[in-house]
Amino acid sequence: MTTADMASKPSPHVVVIGAGFGGLACVRAFRDANVDVTLVDRHNFHTFQPLLYQVATAGLNAADVAYPVRGILRRSQRAKFQLGMVTAVDTVAKNLTLDNGSVMPWDWLVVAAGATTNHFGVPGAAEFGLSLYTLEDATALRNHVLTRFEESASGANDDGALTFVVVGGGATGVEIAGALAELVDKVLRKDFPDLDVSCVKIILLEGQDRLLGPFAPKLSSHAVETLRSRSVDVRLNTPLSRVAEDHVVLGDGTILLTRTVVWAAGVKANALGALLGVELGRGGRIPIRPDLRLIEHDHVLAIGDIAAIDYNGRLAPQVAQVAIQSGRHAAETILAVEAGGATTPFAYKDKGSMATIGRNAAVAEFPNGLKLSGFIGWLSWLGLHILTMLGFRNRASVILNWAWNYVTWDRGPRLIFRKN
Ligand SMILES: Cc1cc2nc3c(=O)[nH]c(=O)nc-3n(C[C@H](O)[C@H](O)[C@H](O)COP(=O)(O)OP(=O)(O)OC[C@H]3O[C@@H](n4cnc5c(N)ncnc54)[C@H](O)[C@@H]3O)c2cc1C
């Protein structure tokens, strides 16, 4: 098909569900194309999930890690935003339904609804565990932690009130445990001079024999040593069997009194996949062809955390780079089909992994074998996060907050939001 033919064709309507890393990358890749795009999300903002733990531990403001979608699309003439929760998808009639009852037709559908917490059926985990997937989760966790200190200061103290159990020794668990330790030691110790903060316990539980499983063993050991040196009680080979309101039960029957269980143990695909009427794969991920289209539907694609993307014969990790690269590729697939050409298989290019353990400490590993840890790792972690954030205002605010925190050892946004 010639460019003139394409221009004279009616423009297809592409609907993208999810304004996360994948959905935004997809929409942006259509910038100069002859397509109309509608981006649908249940929030009117994009959330920068890698820094949610900093909101939860009062290092950053909620607005620092969120960016209004309409602001992102302002310069795109042909991309629109629709606020709403997708509650049904009809892949035969080619439309979707939003929670306000409105029906939106599409020629192409890109499903980029991300993932959510996986409690692995552990009794009580969904009811009493605090997750960290959305901005609401992050502020709820911050409220909860700070409230524990306020209650303890006013005498309403009991065993376990100041015991914080973090479940899961992946990047999120390590980041939260490290940041909580710093918040307590450097900030809350001064905020609550009458409270004996030596009774505060931060316990990190990991079922396997090391933290940060996907990283090299020496970086895992570095993470354990650093956390322990910062008073985090790291317990390896320690599965959790039950969570209750005021305690947890470990695999060997040990009971730990606690009122705070941060659930950082697992990920499963967003339940939206179940609306597509296809058989889902491991972790609820949507099976796809190499060009990211669904096996059963030529005009539906899945990208990012919700898609069962192949990476060297295994499932690709649920990380931002996979979402971004697959988002761009989804746009290429749609444009190739619209132009009457052949599609190409998606190939994820690993750019490396990073996790921070706290001030001056992070680990980073790159595909060329380069491994960084300590201060250098931390500087590269800071730089990468600043570069990948959206919006000048957010970047400036994050830099300012981090500089303030670093120089003063203080945390500005340690606010408790209450409904009454
Ligand atoms: C705490 C945390 C820390 C992380 N840290 C890192 C890190 O350091 N590095 C890294 O690479 N990755 C990290 N990740 C993973 C990374 O954030 C994800 O891989 C990435 O966000 C996936 O992008 P996505 O576009 O698939 O989904 P998301 O970014 O999750 O976006 C999904 C979007 O879909 C919307 N949505 C969901 N359901 C509906 C519905 N029914 N209707 C309408 N809209 C809907 C959501 O509101 C959301 O905006 C982290 C994740 C978390 C939770």
Return the pLDDT at 5.
Answer: 57
Q: Which atom of ligand 1 is nearest to the CA of 87?
A: 41
Return the pLDDT at 413.
Answer: 82
Share of the chain above pLDDT 70, in %: 97
Structure tokens at 204: 């990190």
- Give the pLDDT confidence of 330-386 residue by residue, as tens digits: 999 999 999 999 999 999 999 899 999 988 899 999 989 899 998 998 998 888 888
Q: Classify 58 in phi/psi space as left (phi over 0), alpha (psi -120 to 50) or beta.
A: left
Residue 304 has pLDDT above 80, yes or no: yes
Average pLDDT over residues 160-171: 95
The larger pLDDT score, comparing residue 415 to residue 1, is at: 415
Return the pLDDT at 7.
Answer: 56
Query: In b/e form, how buried is each residue of 252-286, taking b as 16+ CB within 10 angstroms?
Result: eeeebebbbbbbbbbbbbbebbebbebebeebbbb
Cβ 133 under 6 angstroms from ligand 1: yes
Give catalytic status of residue 150 as yes or no. no
* pTM confidence score: 0.93
Query: What span, in angstroms and rounded, lies between the C-alpha atoms of 204 and 182?
Result: 14
What does 258-326 look like in DSSP terms, one character per residue? -SEEEE-S-EEE-GGGGGGTS---GGGPEEB-TTSBBSS-TTEEE-GGGEE-EETTEEPPSSHHHHHHH
Spot the catalytic one: 127, 150, 151, 175.
Answer: 175
- Residue 157's pLDDT band (boundaries 50, 70, 90)? low
Cβ 321 under 6 angstroms from ligand 1: yes
Query: What span, in angstroms and rounded, lies between the C-alpha atoms of 348 and 263?
Result: 29
Q: Which atom of ligand 1 is nearest to the CA of 41?
A: 44
- How far does the centroid of ligand 1 lie from the alpha carbon of residue 305, in Å? 7
Return the pLDDT at 2.
Answer: 53
- Give the pLDDT confidence of 102-143 residue by residue, as tens digits: 999 999 999 999 999 999 999 999 999 999 999 999 999 999
- Residue 420's pLDDT band (boundaries 50, 70, 90)? confident
The DSSP 8-state label assigned to residue 10 in this structure reads P
Return the pLDDT at 404.
Answer: 84
Return the pLDDT at 85.
Answer: 98
Residue 6 has pLDDT above 60, yes or no: no
Mean pLDDT of the chain: 92
Cβ 21 under 6 angstroms from ligand 1: yes
What does 12-52 look like in DSSP terms, one character per residue? PEEEEE--SHHHHHHHHHTTTSS-EEEEEESSSEEE-GGGH
Cβ 319 under 6 angstroms from ligand 1: yes
- Max CA pair span of the chain: 76
Pocket residue to mutate for ligand 1, from 21, 44, 49, 382, most atoms within 8 A of Cβ:
49
Cβ 22 under 6 angstroms from ligand 1: yes
Q: Which atom of ligand 1 is nearest to the CA of 354?
A: 8
Please enumerate in sequence order all residues whose Cβ is within 8 A of that of 417, keeping only pairs 6 or more positions apart, or say none. 139, 143
The DSSP 8-state label assigned to residue 131 in this structure reads P
